[in-house]
Structure 1
Amino acid sequence: MIKLVSLIFSLLIFSSAANSNTLLIVGDSLSAGYKIPVEESWPVLLPEQLSAQNQKIDVINASISGDTSGNGLARLPGLLATHQPDYVLVELGANDGLRGFSPTIISKNLKTIIETIKAQNAKPILMQIRVPTNYGKRYGQAFADIYPALSEQADIPLMPFYLEQVITKPEWMQNDGLHPNVKAQSWIAEFIATELGKIIK
């Protein structure tokens, strides 16, 4: 009887592990919880939101404030080797855009990031990023176009840019006008969880 109970318990643990996925988030300050307590940032709140949608996903947040697409690319091989994720959410490019980097360079970095993730048998998910309107219509459009183009070329999901819905609510934004505050984090986590639910089955 004891052996039978032990066997059932072992099978339950195996089943739970087999049904879980690991999501690695590689991003910048928009995912790193810039100037807010880490425990209140949306990546930390995300597993609970996913669980509410009956999804068991372990979330590893490897985002660093200030990172460019080039920084993310440099760190990526080590992150993939260490965490061996099933999915990688790429939230990069905002700092490239704010520094006026060439869209060609940004696109090349992101393309290499996507290829590197695929080469490790993980599934990339790209988040759309946009730059503020004061960077000019021409640059802003060229920058924004990078993401759907890469999504189509690589045949990977493109997640909407959550900040577009947050920035319209001043009470959800920090004084710099670029980063969400603590009040926005639960909504962002729910938004991300909903979008992931369309991707991760």
Structure 2
Amino acid sequence: MQCAIGWVFGAWLMLAAALPAWAQTAARAAATPTQARTVLVMGDSLSAGYGLAASQGWVALTADRIAKTKPGWRVVNASISGETTAGGAARIDGELKRNKPSVVVIELGANDGLRGLPLAQSRSNLDRMIRASKAAGAKVLLVGMRMPPNLGREYTQGFADNYSALAKQHSTALLPFLLEPIALDRNAFQSDNLHPIASAQPKLRDHVWTQLEPLLR
């Protein structure tokens, strides 16, 4: 009997000694927030904020809005000035692995068009990015562009059609033309007539938000 009592008493002592450590572990777990879901932006200079302060571009403004209105979400801007669809296709796997996004925004193609690259090549690269993103479990927002008419009607129409055809093929969200809210306002652009100025960025943020916000629900 004394042996049994001693065993029970010893077990209680061991349990009592373990309780503080267990309580600390539970407290740390409770204090650790759920990992934020990520919006990954893969774009060119229009998304990288060329000629602007880091906080002024539409992606940074979108990140601010998400931080205030969508708890549990964050934005990673992996855009690079001068990026082509080929560059994006080459980088997409690494960015998906690194950031594990829930939503991928693809804003690429303008530099392909300005260089007159084959439409089939651009479409293939965008297709690869969409497929990789969906295979990683992410929703996709495809952000399109338009080319100036001096490139010829066949090319400019085919360029625009690439985005709508890919969005339909893969059932992704589509914003047909990023610059639509400011395209006809020369004063909304920097001296190169290509990149929007800081005061135009909120309009681009709001334009993208119409298609991005439903993906965050």
Pairwise CA distance, 1:21: 2.5
CA contact (8 A) 1:21 1:86 kept: yes
> What per-residue deviation string (whole Å, max 9, x for no partner) do you get for residues 7-48 of structure 1?
79965854xx36x43100001011000111112111111122
**Aligned pairs (5 A) from 1:52-201:** 54-56=69-71, 57-201=73-217
Q: Could you list the runs of 5+ residues in structure 2 that have no partner in the other structure? A: 1-21
**Aligned pairs (5 A) from 1:18-37:** 20-37=36-53
Greater Rg over alpha carbons, structure: 2
Bigger mean CA deviation after superposition, 88-97 or 54-63: 54-63
Partners of 2:215 and 2:168 in 1: CA distance: 15
TM-score after normalising by structure 2: 0.81
Q: Secondary structure at the match of 1:166?
A: coil
CA contact (8 A) 1:40 1:185 kept: yes
Across the aligned residues of Structure 1 and Structure 2, the Cα RMSD in angstroms comes to 2.3
Pairwise CA distance, 1:97: 0.6
Pairwise CA distance, 1:186: 2.1
Pairwise CA distance, 1:60: 0.3
Alignment length (residue pairs): 196
Instruction: Name the aligned partner's letter for residue 88 of structure 1.
Output: V
Q: Secondary structure at the match of 1:164?
A: coil
TM-score after normalising by structure 1: 0.87
Instruction: Name the aligned partner's letter for residue 43 of structure 1.
Output: V
Q: Secondary structure at the match of 2:38?
A: strand
Residue 40 (str. 1) matches residue 46 (str. 2):
no
Partners of 1:86 and 1:141 in 2: CA distance: 31
CA contact (8 A) 2:181 2:207 kept: no
Partners of 2:140 and 2:209 in 1: CA distance: 16
Instruction: Name the aligned partner's letter for residue 133 of structure 2.
Output: I
> What per-residue deviation string (whole Å, max 9, x for no partner) do you get for residues 86-126 of structure 1?
11100011100111111111111111111111121222211
